[in-house]
Amino acid sequence: MMIKPLNILGLMGGTSLDGIKAALVSTDGVDIYEVKSARKFLYPEPLAQKVRSVLGMHYDNPEERALIETTETEVTDFINEIVEEINRESDEPMDVIGLEGTTICHEPQNGYTYQLGKGRILAEKTGIKVVTHFRNADILNGGQGSPITATYYSALAQTLNKPNVFINIGGITNLIWTGTLGEIVAFDCGPGNALIDDWVFKHGGMQMDFNGKLAATGIVHEKIINQMMKHDFFGKYPPKSLDRNSFNDKTEHLEGLSLEDGAATATAFVSEAIAYSLALYLPEVPVCAVICGGGAQNPTLVRFIRQHLKEMKIETAQEDVFDFKIGDAPAIAFLAARRIYGLPITFPTTTGVAQPMTGGEIYEKEDKTK
């Protein structure tokens, strides 16, 4: 098969609960030629509440399946509306849709992960080939199923001095390290925006700490951070991955703090976990780091990270390379291209899978004339 650039719409829900990020990308899964458009579509509040209500649920549990099905159908309808809107605005037809829906549960130790979004229905409604569920094959073959975007960041890393690291802060934070010979090491390193978002949602009724303003006015409680760092996850060597709710038990330490102090302490905990993992688990100290993902939009979090890593050159991703608002949407387009062309997306050093492998389920509209 000849590899050529494809016009791919990448759609990413991830571990954040605020909606779907979308990016229309020209890519062949080796290079990113152009990010043609990029947008973020917020879930309507009733749908956001439904998504939040199914967190941690298992599809194979009959009592939970019906609620997951109802929510997933609504999410798929919402995604279909996004595709229709972008299609109307685009001058070029989409070749492929890459979809990584909102993760409601990720338990690789149990061979289970679930992302909302029905690829088969989306392909039928849009008439466009859909690639989705990128983690499943990796998990079924003994991998962690996360991080799945390492190949994308490794492609971006080619323009940077090496070794380098991307600090990708979504709902969960992961590190993607690229060595001088092109080696890739990637792993989830700790909580991300989800921990902060959950705190301000529970105690302030807000979806997020916008621009880190609450944390900027709060007091960091170092003793609480020390207690929160006493988590088994930090003692595990990579490859390793997290579920969105993995640190729920540790958030109990924040109870009793003011809204602002809780936000400040949660934000400082995220930065502490990043600094700890950078120091212990990378093959070589990076000469530069790029903070990306939704966390790059939080000036307070970025400031805390810089305070921890004073000797390292740290940048936030530039708009012409990576748009903060769209998170990993371009990466999902990139992965979809790699699946179409049979290129690997996970490796022993990124998810712990036994050998490099591709991933993603492909759905196409059924030809009823046959």
Per-residue pLDDT tens digits for 172-231: 999 999 999 999 999 999 999 999 999 999 999 998 899 999 999 999 999 999 999 999
- The reply to whether omega before 163 is within 30° of 0 (cis) is yes
Estimate the share of the chain in helix, then strand, then coil, as percent rounded to the nearest 5. 40, 25, 35
Q: How far is CA 57 from CA 107, 155, 179, 281, 301, in A?
A: 11, 35, 38, 31, 30
Cα–Cα nearest to 365, from 121, 96, 74, 86: 121
For residue 138, the 8-state DSSP code is: H
AA letter at 54: V
Q: 353: burial class by Cβ within 10 Å (0-12, 13-18, 19+)? A: buried
**What's the count of helices (H) and strands (E) in the chain, helices before strands?**
11, 12
pLDDT in tens, 277-319: 999 999 999 999 999 988 988 999 999 999 999 989 998 865 4
Counting residues of the chain whose pLDDT is more than 70, the rounded percentage is: 96
pLDDT in tens, 115-163: 999 999 999 999 999 999 999 999 999 999 999 999 999 998 988 899 9
pLDDT band at 324 (very low <50, low <70, confident <90, very high): very low
| Burial zone of 235 (CB within 10 Å; 0-12 exposed, 13-18 middle, 19+ buried) | exposed
Contact (CB, 8 A) for 61 and 105: no
Q: What is the identity of the amino acid at 80?
A: N
| Residues found in the chain | 370
What the chain holds in terms of domains, given with CATH numbers, is 6-146+328-363 (3.30.420.40), 150-321 (3.30.420.40)
The tens digit of pLDDT for each residue in 159-179 reads 889 999 999 998 899 999 999
Q: Is 133 helix (H, G, I), strand (E, B) or coil?
A: coil
CA 207 to chain CA centroid, Å, is: 17
